[in-house]
Amino acid sequence: MKSFLEKILLFLLVVPIFFMFSSVLSAKDKTFEYLSNIDETTSQVGYSKLKKNENEDGNLISLMINGRRMYSMNAIYAHASSSIVYDLSKYPDFNTFKTYIGVDASRGTAGDGVKFYIYASKDNDYKTAKWTQLHSSEILKGNTEAEKVVVSIKDYKWLKLEADKSGSNASDHAVYFDAMIYNEEKYIPTSVSIPFIKSLEEYDEELKGKSDKEIVTDNYAPIRN
């Protein structure tokens, strides 16, 4: 396993290269787009405001994925109950929508949870559109496993993301993690989700009771394959 510092150095090297490569692609050449890079057509949230790439506290958005707290630099926070609509007609070559849905992991066990719905429409006007439900989730909380959603949006003109409160809306910090639309035939999977960056409070908790020698050993351990 790589040490924490080695992971940080690798991340600082790889991410700028990834974004540099992405930035040189024209809109016509791109095979995917994160929703956090797209202007929504309309949105409503149950508290605060719609945020991109940060949660209510201004930190990176995080979810529990495969039992680990993962962080994303391409995510959307929309406190439930909330609704976001996107115009897909600008991206005719993109035929698939993918995201992880859940409540920001910073909320832990707080709140009654959130239920998510994904809709799409082929109508011209989203205000009078008839919506087709593509996905509905279980009730999710900050400490529960996020749900992965992959649905076809082929021939649809509008995409709508809804998060409904379950009882009170306290701590209903609904998030869409690594949410993207893409061309299934051309897209090469990439990810800039970060599983190893933690809050200061989490590091403080890990270091409790450790000696200076143990801390140095943990952070400067040799690479093991």
Q: What whole-number distance in Å separates Cα of residue 174 and Cα of residue 135?
A: 16
Tell me which residue range forms the domain holding 135: 31-194
Q: Is residue 26 situated within a structural domain?
A: no
Give mean pLDDT, residues 38-65: 96
Pairing of strands 96-103, 174-182: antiparallel
Q: Is residue 143 situated within a structural domain?
A: yes
pLDDT digits (tens, 9 = 90+) for 73-128: 999 999 999 999 999 999 999 999 999 999 999 999 999 999 999 999 999 999 99
CA separation, residue 101 to residues 69, 80, 161, 163 (Å): 13, 12, 10, 9
Q: Is residue 1 situated within a structural domain?
A: no
pLDDT digits (tens, 9 = 90+) for 97-106: 999 999 999 9
Q: Is residue 7 situated within a structural domain?
A: no
Q: Is residue 155 situated within a structural domain?
A: yes
Q: At which residue do the structure tokens 């061309």 appear?
A: 183
99: which 2 tokens?
A: 């995201």
- Residues sharing a CB contact under 8 Å with residue 182, sequence separation 6 or more, in sequence order: 31, 32, 33, 94, 95, 96, 98
Q: Is residue 23 situated within a structural domain?
A: no
Per DSSP, which regions of the chain are E strands? 32-34, 42-44, 51-52, 61-65, 68-72, 75-77, 82-87, 96-103, 114-121, 132-136, 147-152, 158-165, 174-182
**Could you tell me the pTM of the whole model?**
0.75
Q: Is residue 224 situated within a structural domain?
A: no
pLDDT digits (tens, 9 = 90+) for 128-187: 999 999 999 999 999 999 999 999 999 999 999 999 998 999 999 999 999 999 999 988
Give how many domains the chain has, as a whole number.
Answer: 1
Local structure of 89: helix, strand or coil: helix
E strand or H helix at 60: none
Q: Is residue 14 situated within a structural domain?
A: no
Q: What whole-number distance in Å separates Cα of residue 75 and Cα of residue 194?
A: 12
Q: Taking the C-alpha atoms of 119, 124, 126 and 127 in order, what is their torsion angle to the nearest 10 degrees?
A: -140
* Residue 118 Cα to chain centre, angstroms: 15
CATH number where 59 lies: 2.60.120.1060
